[in-house]
Copies of this chain bind each other. A is one copy, B any other.
Amino acid sequence: MAVSFDSSPLESVAGGVCAANGFKAGGIKSGIKKSGSADLGLIYSEHPCTAAGTFTQNAIRASSVDWCENSLPSEKVHAIICNSGCANACTGDEGVKNNGAMAAWVSEALHLQPETVLTASTGVIGEQLPMATIAPAITELVGSLSPRGGLSFAKAIMTTDLVEKESAVKVHSNDGSYTIGGCCKGSGMIHPNMATMLAFICTDALIDEKLLSKIIKKSVDRTFNNLTVDGDTSTNDMVLIVANGHSAIPITHSGAALFEEALFTVCNDLCKQIAADGEGATKSVEIVVTGAKNEKDAKLAAKAVANSNLTKCALFGNDPNWGRIACAVGYSGATFSKKHMSIKLCGVQVFKDLQPVPFDHKKLHTLLKSKTVTIQIDLAQGKSEAIAHTCDLSYDYVRINAEYHT
């Protein structure tokens, strides 16, 4: 029965990866992390899922990335196991074997075929997975599965993240309702390229793996890829999406636009949560580029500013040092009007028509103390736009990354 809505067809709901029907998840403290925090998570669907993913462009890739990329797209995925505390990257043949063993143990415990289990890892590069610790923990892990286990899973995949990151929407389509829920981890936001970003998204929509692949790629390109730079990704980055069809709502080409909008909403929400939890961040920063000749240029400019250490240090110091923003735009490679490029900081015009604009330093210094800061750049060259999310660069970023390994 077709239903129409006056308001938005997207309703924010709780539950993370278990928000959609038919999914169970769980997380346990297996002992991989010396800190004793949760470090092993599992997602499971009794129904086989269509599944797709996007993968790091790094030439050095974790075994889990190869495993998943070889398996996907698929129409028979049942489970995803993810460990934190060890990236299982740069670990050679032993790493490949260990990754396969992890999938095999989960498949045995759940009576599945190993190729229906996806794997993901995050943590220190160059160390082998402690298989003697993981093996006996699999039974407990499977036992932790619950339809309300989304949060446990989200906690189990954290590394330097301070908070778990979940997002889910219920989609009221003309054909009925389905849900898309997900969670992610990642907080090394200064050079996002090297901090593992993992996202897991579960939906009970009924969608074939080819369309799912196409839509997840588009969504990631509009969201997570504006946190990262092409070719500048970690050894372990992945976004995985699984669809178990439990809602029986088919996503065909006619319903694809709404599914895409909903997926974008979840991905974008997760991105913002990553930016806000950037390592050592005291504030999140949104860079809005308008007036670009094309989308590529808009992204180039937004990312150059998002990756500028000097800009981010200035923001940490609440310093309206917009010259560093202009400089980053200048070297970004984006085309801009040499006459009319302009910059606003917290809504205050600081640079217009390539000339400095006088402003109240004290007032802007105060505005910069907000938890969220917006940088608006008008390239005055066209009509394309892009948004990048990042955070400031603080003493704590250095502390976290100087102390992380030892």
Contact = CB atoms under 8 A, between A and B. Distances in A.
B233 A310 contact: no
A328 interface: yes
Given A91-B356, A317-B403, 20 more contacts: A59-B331, A89-B323, A90-B351, A92-B355, A94-B355, A126-B323, A126-B350, A190-B309, A191-B310, A194-B309, A194-B331, A231-B333, A235-B327, A235-B330, A309-B309, A313-B398, A316-B398, A319-B405, A321-B404, A395-B398
A146 interface: no
B398 A394 contact: yes
A316 B399 CA distance: 9
Interface in A291-320: 308-310, 313-314, 316-320
A150 to B, nearest CB: 30
A329 B328 CA distance: 24
A354 B90 contact: yes
Interface in A131-167: none
A365 B403 CA distance: 12
A90 B323 contact: yes
Interface string A357-397: 00001000100000000000000000000000000011101
A60 interface: yes
A313 B402 contact: yes
Closest 4 CB pairs of A and B: A125-B323, A317-B402, A60-B330, A313-B401
Interface string A258-278: 000000000000000000000
A249 interface: no
A330 B59 contact: yes
Interface string A219-235: 00000000000011111
B194 A405 contact: no
A90 B60 contact: no
A90 B326 contact: yes
Contacts of A194: 308-310, 324, 327-328, 331
- Of residues A60, A333, A400, which shows the largest number of chain B Cβ atoms within 10 Å of its Cβ? A60
B401 A395 contact: no
B90 A314 contact: no
Nearest to A236: B327
Nearest to A190: B309
A233 B324 contact: no
Interface in A83-129: 87, 89-94, 124-128
B309 A125 contact: no
14 contacts: A90-B323, A90-B355, A124-B321, A125-B323, A125-B326, A125-B327, A126-B323, A126-B351, A194-B327, A314-B402, A316-B402, A319-B403, A321-B406, A395-B399
Given A59-B336, A60-B330, A319-B406, A90 B356 contact: yes
Nearest to A326: B90
A193 to B, nearest CB: 6
Interface in A230-248: 231-235
Interface in A163-199: 188, 190-191, 193-195
Contacts of A128: 356
A327 B350 CA distance: 38
B90 A313 contact: no
A349 interface: no
A185 B397 CA distance: 27
Contacts of A57: 331
A71 interface: no
A279 to B, nearest CB: 10
A37 interface: no
Nearest to A352: B92
A193 B321 contact: no
Contacts of A91: 355-356
A321 B333 CA distance: 32
B87 A331 contact: no
